[in-house]
Structure 1
Amino acid sequence: LSILEAIKDTLGQKHPSTLTCMANLSAALANKGEWELAEDLGVKVLKMRREVLGETHPHTLTCAYNLAALYQNVGRYREAEALQSATFEKRKAAFGEGHSTTLASMASLVSILRLQSRYEEAKTLAEQVLELRKYRLPEEHPDLLTSMSDLAMMCPVHYSGH
């Protein structure tokens, strides 16, 4: 944290490099399971990035995506869905439906919906993500394989009674 304070003192609270450092620290805290600290910092960074860079800047949208992921990881699915849905819509408007970051938000929504047992909605969205990725990515691309796996998770499994 002392490095962050030094950066703030040198560059200022809202300098893009300061905000990147804060976002990285938030991610590191989340990775350590320090959810409350990670959230507090993530919310601050998102607010400042919106002020400094605007609602649709890629860094702002990445920050929103990461905060939604944090909410998902702690079981706050409604908040995760609301933030990720808004992020998806902004990415779609700014970059197009087939852009990799737009598809990442869509895939995240699939997971959030599935965790809420909203399987039909999740399956429909997973099918869309898969089709868009099939069109844009090579056959062995990890994101395409992940989309296939996500869709497979929506299919019921039948056992033969053994």
Structure 2
Amino acid sequence: MKWKKADVAQYLEAKEYIDTILIPLIPYQMTGDTELEKNAFQNELTSVLANELEKELTGRIMLTPTYNYVKAADREEEVNRIHSWIEEIQQQPFPHIFLLTLDSSWKKHEQALDGTLLWLPGMKSGDLHSAEMHRFIRDQVEQVSELIRSYW
């Protein structure tokens, strides 16, 4: 289920079965021309992975809107902002909270997060429409789905 009217209406009817939330963490940065393309690609790849996970785990998972942050921002401040998101999420019965990212800098702050960090060492560039990329995405989705299921 995604954060859209029809899915939320469906969630409200079956909330006792939907116990997992997925928050995509996506960095944004306009400084440094060499990083622009890489950051844009990681944005697209994270979005695709999150959407594919939502499809794979339909009936148990809700995908939140993307949590965007400035890549150079203070991580402690971002952890506090994420906690405010999680406090809001916990107004509903979501015992399993996962945060999905390709940004390895979150690993240093993993213990401070009120959820389970799913850091995937993604590709830095590529063609999202290539057969190789589709295999990579499918493999990642299968592995992460299995991991999420182990929490249930």
Tell me the TM-score normalized by structure 1.
0.27
Write 1 or 2 for the structure with the bigger share of strand: 2
If you compute each CA radius of gyration, which structure gives the higher value, 1 or 2?
Answer: 1
